[in-house]
Amino acid sequence: GIYGQKDYNAWIGKIACKRLDRGVDLNARDSAKFVSDQLQRGSSTEQAWQFLGAAMNYYCPDKRVLLTAQWDRREKP
């Protein structure tokens, strides 16, 4: 069809950034959950985080700080 996988992936990235801007997702974890729910069945949690990082780099670089904050809050051994 006219809309391929790349178009769908771009849509996910743009919407993830809009959700952060509008306060629908309050942090990177919420956003990664949204992304995970949109990705192809069988995609891993790691893939969702990688996708979110790439989307933030391209569509909302000002939100990258949320990824850093999430990394800083992770459980430490």
Total domains in the chain come to: 1
Contacts of 64 by beta carbon, 8 Å cutoff, 6+ apart:
53, 56, 57
Mean pLDDT, 10 residues at a time, over the chain (77 residues)?
Answer: 68 96 96 95 93 95 90 64
Domain that holds residue 50: 5-73
